[in-house]
């Protein structure tokens, strides 16, 4: 015995019982039928059952078919369900109004069964094709996103090959950046700019902030002590080298990409300071791109709480005090305030991606 085939579900809406009976009689062998005798009931049934197609009368009391269709299209649960009007209103302006509110077709009463069967079959096929296409686009988008992520980490790993601290530094700073952007997005000052898409782009761009270090000689990059003035000037060039690397990637594209712009801004400006005393361009305040201001705090916090070749770790409390003292000097005050509210979560990220945990407040190693 072959398994039963799935029948598409159709919701018929008409305030006249005889019309509902007629439609049900014509379609029940091929489709699973639902019925509603008012617009309000139709909206409830459509949202609850999510039919594959809706057959909708126009002339109904309280809420006519046009209004029902408008509300269906405004509800995310029902907006993609195709609506076919079945009506005795045959004027051209009536049909135009039907299409204007979102219907896909318009069938005049009295109903011709062959026309009804054909139109329903056509629109169900269109919807099935559209759904399949959406799934294909979603799958391809996810594949591209995964590829993008892999390329980002591959590029960041170029630096990791020369600096053993970079690997976990990449993971930690990306975690800090994500915490900051997600929570800044909740604030009125930043909410219009930090959309979910923007938050994701900035978080994904964070691993490339030090890509320019590939241009720094090993004897400087890996030096276990304090830099000379000349060495520090060479080290500072990594911000411009990072910008140049990403500019080359941008130039290979036929059109500008916002994601690469964020990568470039973070690499170029994450050592700028709020008071204008940073490098390479001495930008200050909100002239520094927001993504770079966020990265600046994340980068400094990680340098404070993790051991480096040139320093021991600071305690969490000492790091918090240093960041707090840098508000309005090194860092954007609004970003510092957000960090202070999230410092425990920063600490958790540090421990997650560190071979040795950051020292606790009672095990302080301060310089």
Summarize the confidence of residues 208-233 as an average pLDDT. Answer: 87
Residue percentage of the chain with pLDDT more than 90? 63
Q: Report pLDDT digits (tens) over 58-103.
A: 999 989 999 999 999 999 999 999 999 998 887 788 888 889 999 9
Please tell me the predicted confidence (pLDDT) of residue 359.
44
266 CB-contact burial (10 Å; exposed 0-12 / middle 13-18 / buried 19+): buried
pLDDT value at position 154? 62
Burial (CB < 10 A; 0-12, 13-18, 19+), residue 11, is: buried
Regarding pTM above 0.75, the answer is no
- Residue 107: name the closest of 115, 117, 96 by CA: 115
pLDDT at 346: 95
In this predicted structure, the answer to whether residue 155 has a pLDDT above a threshold of 80 is no
Report angle CA 147, 152, 154 to the nearest 5 degrees: 90
Q: Is 198 helix (H, G, I), strand (E, B) or coil?
A: helix
d(CA 296, CA 99): 53
Q: Would you call 218 helix, strand, or coil by DSSP?
A: helix
Least confident of 69-73, 119-123, 161-165: 161-165
Could you tell me the CATH superfamily of domain 162-352?
Answer: Hypothetical protein af1432 (1.10.3210.10)
User: How many residues are given for the chain?
Assistant: 367
Mean pLDDT for 244-265 is 82
Question: pLDDT digit string (tens) for 263-309?
Answer: 999 999 999 999 999 999 999 999 999 999 999 999 999 999 987 76
- Which sequence spans correspond to the domains of the chain? 9-133, 162-352
C-alpha 295, offset from chain centre: 19
CATH 3.40.50.150 fits 9-133, yes or no: no
């Amino acid at each position: 015995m072959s398994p039963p085939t799935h029948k598409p579900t159709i919701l018929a809406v008409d305030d006249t019982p005889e019309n509902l009976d007629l439609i049900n009689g014509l379609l029940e062998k091929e489709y699973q039928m639902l019925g509603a005798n008012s617009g309000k009931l139709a909206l409830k049934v459509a949202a609850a059952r999510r039919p594959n197609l809706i057959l909708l009368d126009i002339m109904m009391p309280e809420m006519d078919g046009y209004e029902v269709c408008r509300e269906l299209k405004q509800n995310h649960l029902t907006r993609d369900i195709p609506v076919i009007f079945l009506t005795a209103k045959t004027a051209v302006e009536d049909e135009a109004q039907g299409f204007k509110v979102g219907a896909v077709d318009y069938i005049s009463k009295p109903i011709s069964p062959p026309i009804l069967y054909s139109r329903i079959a056509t629109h169900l096929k269109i919807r099935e094709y559209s759904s399949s296409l959406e799934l294909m686009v979603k799958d391809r988008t996810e594949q591209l996103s995964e590829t993008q992520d892999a390329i980002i980490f591959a590029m960041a790993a170029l630096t990791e090959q020369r600096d053993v601290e970079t690997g976990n530094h990449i993971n930690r700073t990306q975690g800090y950046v994500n915490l900051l952007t997600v929570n800044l997005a909740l604030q009125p000052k930043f909410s219009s700019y930090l959309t979910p898409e923007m938050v994701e782009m900035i978080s994904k761009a964070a691993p490339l902030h030090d890509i320019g270090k590939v241009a720094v000689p090993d004897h400087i990059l890996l030096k276990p002590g304090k830099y000379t003035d000349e060495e520090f000037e060479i080290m500072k060039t990594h911000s411009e080298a990072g910008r140049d690397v990403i500019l080359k990637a941008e130039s290979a594209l036929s059109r500008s990409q916002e994601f690469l712009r964020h990568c470039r801004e973070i690499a170029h400006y994450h050592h700028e300071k709020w008071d204008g005393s940073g490098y390479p361009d001495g930008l200050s305040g909100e002239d520094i791109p927001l993504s770079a201001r966020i990265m600046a705090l994340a980068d400094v916090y990680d340098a404070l709480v993790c051991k480096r070749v040139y320093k021991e770790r600071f305690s969490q409390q000492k790091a918090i005090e240093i960041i707090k003292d840098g508000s309005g000097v090194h860092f954007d005050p609004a970003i510092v305030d957000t960090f202070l509210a999230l410092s425990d979560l920063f600490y958790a990220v540090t421990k997650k991606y560190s071979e040795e945990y950051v020292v606790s407040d009672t095990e302080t190693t301060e310089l």
